[in-house]
Structure 1
């Protein structure tokens, strides 16, 4: 039984202890280090998950979409604080419930417990499968792979990437300075162009990028 179906059939004794909340783009739902005493079930919108380090650098490593959860891992692992920051990318709606209510629901509803376990497994598998890959992949390769993924299957005479350099740095786990260095190298090699500071790819550049990264996941 899928979690989104179960959200439409929440036991009344659980529903009475839930709260609906709305977050606007840019709002922080939870911040790394805050007390993990609630679980949030995403019912609408998209979230960005990132880790912030003492150096001030931020690494965005995942995104959450309906019906993902925030805080389920921390509560089940009996951790007191949230491990990552979750920020709204679009307008988001969540169902908020205390850690105790969440655990009670799991203990008294086997279908819900299985649905949560499957959701956790789906989130953790890609992390395990890619463990260490980013750490040891050169920044230039990370940037080019990121660009190829953003290009995807788009067919256009001129692809324009509207993402800021800071966001690119966050997404690939590096600094803006390093991103700028990667952009400069690709521009000097003729593999990308700039339009008012925005990264662009003409059809020839798109083809070259796809040829290099077409076999990447």
Structure 2
């Protein structure tokens, strides 16, 4: 697919690439990632910079203990590797995994850094995006220490729905295991299990083969309960 065809297919991309050097319009790789695919792993050398065109990504910080902390979900248009480039580090600080099927356009790191030098507006956009993520992270930091477990899970469900697409019957299904959820939410699994059962009893979710599911109607109730 030609670069112009990609911009036509994903028009939101145009504001980011209006000043892209002409030679980069033929120096890219377009890739599709299935749900669950790791796009890059923490501590890997960053050789390419990606731009998320569609789908949802989750950003995870993994630790030597085997535990993982879910930092955020990212939606189009978003950059993959921007923090590492701006920090002038060689390796990534987080793991990025596809939540749903994703399409990403990749440029080599050297090409992307050259583009930044020639395009101060893109540099400003990147800095703003990173600052917004830091702002949101700082704003939420400590939530797991002060919110009770039902509120934490409801906040997670609401955030999950913002980046997910319901099935043909209008049902959302959270694919993470209970262990993964407990690590992301910062609560022990027994507490999570009790919280899931409580939300189920309250009619806010239901379970299908052990996975948390909810409808648009239940999501509306969840949003009302949070606010």
TM range (shorter): 0.7 to 0.9
Q: TM-score, normalised by structure 2?
A: 0.71
Q: Does the 8 Å CA contact 1:161/1:198 hold for their aligned counterparts? A: no
For the structure 1 residues 131 and 185, does the alpha-carbon distance in structure 2 shift closer, same or farther, using more than 3 Å as the test? same
**3-state secondary structure, aligned to 2:128:** helix
Alignment match, 1:181: 194
Alignment match, 1:69: 79
Shift of 1:212: 4.6
Shift of 1:91: 2.1
C-alpha separation in 2, matches of 1:174 and 1:6:
39
Alignment match, 1:107: 117
Alignment match, 1:156: none
C-alpha separation in 2, matches of 1:44 and 1:22:
10
**3-state secondary structure, aligned to 1:54:** coil
For the structure 1 residues 185 and 48, does the alpha-carbon distance in structure 2 shift closer, same or farther, using more than 3 Å as the test? same
Q: Does the 8 Å CA contact 2:174/2:213 hold for their aligned counterparts? A: no
Q: What is the aligned counterpart of 1:168 among 181, 184, 187?
A: 181
Shift of 1:126: 0.6
Alignment match, 1:97: 107
Q: CA RMSD in A?
A: 3.5
Structure 1 range deviating more: 64-73 or 106-115: 106-115
C-alpha separation in 1, matches of 2:112 and 2:211:
45
**3-state secondary structure, aligned to 1:25:** coil
C-alpha separation in 2, matches of 1:26 and 1:201:
21
Alignment of 1:1-217 (within 5 A): 4-7=14-17, 10-147=20-157, 162-164=173-175, 165-166=177-178, 167-185=180-198, 190-192=201-203, 197=210, 212-213=225-226, 215=227
After superposition, the C-alpha distances for 1:163-193 in whole angstroms (9 at most, x for unaligned) are 2443533542334333113234556xx4346
C-alpha separation in 2, matches of 1:194 and 1:207:
18
Instruction: Point out the structure with max Rg over C-alpha.
Output: 1
C-alpha separation in 2, matches of 1:27 and 1:194:
25
C-alpha separation in 2, matches of 1:76 and 1:207:
39
**3-state secondary structure, aligned to 1:87:** strand
Name stretches of at least 5 consecutive residues in structure 2 with no aligned partner.
1-11, 163-169
Shift of 1:77: 0.6
